[in-house]
């Protein structure tokens, strides 16, 4: 399956800059960089789960955002989110 890995690591501190380097290193060892913080990876299910564990071990979910988009050939589109960003449910009720 094709997996898009997108991340936003808070780099205001030295620890944040270190996390950013470690996350990028994990992604570089697995896939192809398509933007500064976006990678495309061709993975099987086992490698996808291992990559997710590795990335979760590197980020701080209270300060960083990690998004993994699984795009399997026949199953459709699925997004798995971790961290500070929460997507808007465009199919949900609109409250003004």
Render pLDDT for 50-60 as a digit per residue (tens, 0 to 9). Answer: 999 999 999 99
DSSP-H helix ranges across 10-87: 14-28, 45-58
pLDDT tier at 78 (50, 70, 90 boundaries)?
low
What phi, psi does 18 have (nearest 5°)?
-65, -40
81-87 own/partner pairs: CB under 8 Å, 24+ apart: 82/56, 83/8, 83/59, 85/8
pLDDT tier at 85 (50, 70, 90 boundaries)?
low
**1-33 tens-digit pLDDT:** 889 999 999 999 999 999 999 999 999 999 999
pTM summary value: 0.78
What phi, psi does 23 have (nearest 5°)?
-65, -45
Is 8 known to sit in a ligand binding site? yes
Cα 64 from Cα 83, distance rounded (Å): 6
Which domains, ranges and CATH numbers included, belong to the chain? 2-71 (3.30.70.240)
């Amino acid at each position: 399956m094709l997996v898009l890995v997108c991340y936003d690591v808070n780099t205001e501190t030295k620890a944040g800059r270190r996390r950013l380097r470690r996350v990028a290193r994990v992604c570089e060892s697995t896939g192809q960089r398509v933007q500064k913080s976006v990678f495309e990876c061709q993975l099987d299910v086992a490698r996808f789960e291992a990559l997710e564990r590795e990335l979760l071990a590197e980020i701080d979910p209270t300060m960083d955002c990690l998004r993994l988009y699984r795009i399997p050939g026949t199953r459709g589109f699925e997004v798995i989110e971790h961290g500070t960003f929460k997507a808007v449910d465009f199919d949900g009720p609109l409250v003004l």
